[in-house]
Chains A and B, each alone.
Chain A
Amino acid sequence: MPAPVLELRRLSKRFGGVTAVDGVSLALEPGRIYGLIGPNGSGKTTLFNCITGVERRDGGEVLFGGERIDGLKPWQIAQRGIGRTFQIIRVFPELTALENLLVVTRGAIEEARAHALELLRFVTLERLQGEYAGNLSYGQQKLLEFARVLMRDPALILLDEPAAGVNRTLLNDLLAAVARLRDEGKTVLLVEHDMKVVMGLCETVFVLDHGEKIAEGPPGAIQADERVIEAYFGR
């Protein structure tokens, strides 16, 4: 087994009396797509927030490329190579599509612009480069957010519900793009409610319930898992 890109060791996060993430351990290998599923409120987004430094963990460790990153600031974690999208889109509405990508660049402006345009082409938004991001449709904003994540060429990409609210055609483009990234050797962890997406794309799926990891395995086995069925449908 190759060295994991990301490793969580007994990660915990509490909000007052609620334990949102409860001793979760998992390891992600490079060049694979992982799914993270679970009922509403099971701690998926909180887990993302703990990995990316948006929330301070209460216990446990986060290792990225073998180094501890818990305790770093979100921007430091992003600079090390973890990119993320948000469950609720967070583009910069009063910046143009192109500017949304340019903000993360340094160095020569021509190269930065060329790189940004290349990524806009990648997500089929090139002709909207001068449009304010806030004027784009929901699906287009989602693509823009995805392209923005790729600007830093992150080794690990966290996608929070990429399929929600995106039409079928756009979704297929997005999923194809995710698969291409995997082929380039990047690791993807995605939270998704759409089971078709999870089953079609992910090689390994983690299941959270009440903050605990209750199952881990290939999609087929997860679907048949008693505890998973119970978590989703009740006894």
Chain B
Amino acid sequence: MLVAALAVYPAFGTGYGVRAMLQIFMWIALAGSWNIISGLTGYVSFGHVAFFGAGAYAGAILIAKAGWPWVLAAPAGGAAACALALVIGYPCLRLKGPYFAIAMLGLNEVLRALVSYFEGLTGGGSGLSLPTLHATVPIYYAMAGTAAAVTLLTFLIITSRFGLRLMTIREDELAAEAMGIDTARHKLYAFLLSAAGPGIAGALAARDQGYIEPISVFPLATTITMIVMALFGGKGTVWGPVFGAAVLFVAQELVWARFPYVHQLLFGAIIVAVVLLMPRGVLGILQVKYRLPRTI
């Protein structure tokens, strides 16, 4: 029912409605992907938007400079993000706790600087324009597919022993190693899987917006938003990031429309409330309280 409703929505919805749904799909893909590495292994990535930005630039360059159609540029954006994850995951995943978080934060700043520096390819600080194309509805479906794929991937991981092993890293990495679990390899796989979604979403967002610049695709606020969405919905659950992304996006829009000057403040208050009052998130609390299976 829901799937069918979402599938026909572009035919009936307003322009604003379709764009809003597209944004929700993007946040589901981002929050869900962050959940795969950070919600399951406990390695908090504070620079996950780097994969979004890498996908956006890879996709935009392929479209604008190489003339690729966006349907091919989008998976290429995902591949670029995975390649980046492979290169930086290998050294960075050896870092524990806050050091990993800080390294990821640093990575994002480095990427932003690099993109600004290589003006010939990226347009530097003045940004990169894509050829005009009205493709909001096809991109709506592509983004919906990305969100669905990330959620399905999360489901498959969480219901497998691979997913349980990722959780042992979060629970007690030393004990996991002592049990014969190759934690380094598991973390790297999870990291790669968590980079693909943001890479694809980044390329799609770049195509949709038609113009990207370093500050628009590497903002720290995007990382924080996806983290808050995953935490609010329930980290380490399948549907938590979906729920968190949908609810918080709508809440943010409502607040922004009514209280344009204080919406940042209110969003900040939500972050503090979530962290303090329900670190497990909505679905996490329900899961523990009502003994729900891991499939939620």
Contacts and interface: CB of A to CB of B under 8 A. Distances in A.
A74 B172 contact: no
B289 interface: no
Nearest to B169: A92
B182 A75 contact: yes
Nearest to B280: A94
Most chain B CB atoms below 10 A, which of A91, A92, A151: A92
B98 to A, nearest CB: 21
Given A92-B168, A94-B167, A95-B171, A75 B177 contact: yes
Contact of B164 (A90, A103, A106, A152): A103
A74 B168 contact: no
Please report whether the interface of chain A is mostly helix, strand, loop or mixed according to DSSP. Answer: loop
A74 B178 contact: yes
A86 B182 CA distance: 19
Interface in A40-58: 52, 54
B183 interface: yes
Interface of A: 52, 54, 73-75, 78-79, 84, 86, 90-95, 99, 102-106, 109, 112, 130, 132, 148, 151-152
Given A75-B180, A75-B183, A103 B175 contact: no
Nearest to B236: A94
Contacts of B161: 102-103, 105-106, 109, 112
B172 A92 contact: yes
A105 B182 CA distance: 13
Contact of B171 (A86, A93, A130): A93
Contact of B179 (A73, A93, A94, A103): A103
A152 B176 CA distance: 13
12 contacts: A54-B174, A73-B177, A74-B177, A75-B178, A75-B181, A78-B180, A94-B170, A99-B164, A103-B164, A103-B181, A104-B180, A152-B180
B167 A78 contact: no
Given A102-B164, A103-B165, A105-B161, A94 B171 contact: yes
A81 B291 CA distance: 35
Contacts of B172: 90-92
A105 B167 CA distance: 15
Nearest to B288: A132
B178 A52 contact: yes
A148 B170 CA distance: 18
Contacts of A75: 176-183
Contact of A78 (B165, B170, B179, B288): B179
B191 to A, nearest CB: 18
Interface in B214-245: none
A222 B183 CA distance: 41
A152 B177 CA distance: 13
A86 B176 CA distance: 12
B168 A103 contact: yes
A105 to B, nearest CB: 7
Contacts of B174: 54, 74, 90
A229 to B, nearest CB: 34
B178 A92 contact: no
Contacts of A109: 161
A86 B178 CA distance: 10
Contacts of B167: 92, 94-95, 103
A152 B175 contact: no
A162 to B, nearest CB: 15
A233 to B, nearest CB: 34
B175 A86 contact: yes
A189 to B, nearest CB: 15
A90 B176 CA distance: 9
